A and B are shown apart, each in its own frame.
Chain A
């Protein structure tokens, strides 16, 4: 009985540590609500760490074009992400029109984009650290393929 308890405790502990590691880069949140009868409603919350892992595991041949295109802009993206990381929480852009509202901000270490118009409501939140890791992975793939 005690052995079984230890095994369960070990499994729960491993699961918690795994979940902790997986969520260490924060969570990506994508929410899309279509404003029409029977419109689709998407709500995805995923560990942001999956993005750089996916880039790492993806066949480099498939990423070749993306990495080639991103390569010239990597220094700029790095500088932008560093600047974003260091800045306070701020609303970068807010556009209000009749029937449309766009909001781009930095909030708690994430870039948040909210769009609300007559057709749909979209919310995307991505941790800056995860974007940074993904860009670094893409840059590494690119430099390895050169």
Chain B
């Protein structure tokens, strides 16, 4: 091989390497999905107590199917038919899913006001205690999660693992808030590994 030929080959090799490097830099590597966390925060201002729990949902999804005890098996929990009180929950859910956004239940009695509604694909429950005006419960659960929970072959099973997966795929969401004069409880999901 002549010197000129060798030089050309070297230049071509350098160009190939440069092209490969530019291509590798230009095409971003697929980003790993961020871990999602279920957070629980309990604050008791009168006693000066607080409890913070942070659970990586991916970890929960791995552990749950491995637990086989107390009615839990393969990520599903078996519920006794008596606990359903004769209510066909699936039919109820189907009715809620197909219904437009609306307020389904409003109960007002001496103890509390209860409101159950569907809004923007979420089931929303508000409870306000009347005896102590500061007692308040807010629950917001995306219908997708409820659907995943009840999407099982057997009627007496709840698919907790599927619900966790759906929760993981849902965006940042505040699921539960409970508040009274001294205590405050919050349950939410986001992609931060701290509560700060």
Contacts of A80-99 to chain B: CB distance below 8 A: 80, 82-84, 86-98
Contacts of B63 in A (CB 8 A): 76, 79-80, 83
Q: Is B53 an interface residue (CB 8 A)?
A: yes
Q: How large is the interface on B (under 10, 10 to 19, 20 to 34, 35 or more residues)?
A: 20 to 34
What are 10 of the A-B contact pairs (CB < 8 Å)?
A78-B66, A79-B62, A80-B63, A90-B194, A91-B194, A92-B55, A96-B49, A97-B47, A97-B48, A98-B47
Of the candidates B35, B49, B66, the one whose C-beta lies within 8 Å of that of A79 is B66
Name the distance in Å between A62's Cβ and chain B's nearest Cβ: 27
The verdict on A94 contacting B56 (CB below 8 Å), with A79-B63, A88-B35 known, is no
Q: Is A15 an interface residue (CB 8 A)?
A: no
The verdict on A93 contacting B52 (CB below 8 Å), with A79-B65, A79-B66, A87-B59 known, is yes
Residue of A nearest to B55 (CB): A92
* Complex CA–CA separation, A127 to B59 (angstroms): 17
Contacts of B34-64 to chain A: CB distance below 8 A: 35, 37, 47-56, 58-63
* Complex CA–CA separation, A98 to B50 (angstroms): 10
Q: Is B193 an interface residue (CB 8 A)?
A: yes
The verdict on A92 contacting B54 (CB below 8 Å), with A87-B35, A98-B48 known, is yes
Q: Check B66–A90 contact: CB distance below 8 A.
A: no
Name the distance in Å between A130's Cβ and chain B's nearest Cβ: 19
Q: Which residue numbers of A lie inside 8 Å of B, CB to CB?
A: 72, 75-76, 78-80, 82-84, 86-98
Q: Is B67 an interface residue (CB 8 A)?
A: yes
Name the distance in Å between A119's Cβ and chain B's nearest Cβ: 18
Q: Check A86–B58 contact: CB distance below 8 A.
A: yes
* Complex CA–CA separation, A84 to B60 (angstroms): 10
Contacts of A94 in B (CB 8 A): 50-52
Of the candidates B52, B62, B67, the one whose C-beta lies within 8 Å of that of A83 is B62
* Complex CA–CA separation, A91 to B55 (angstroms): 9
* Complex CA–CA separation, A89 to B63 (angstroms): 18
Residue of B nearest to A105 (CB): B54
Q: Check A76–B55 contact: CB distance below 8 A.
A: no
Q: Check B66–A89 contact: CB distance below 8 A.
A: no
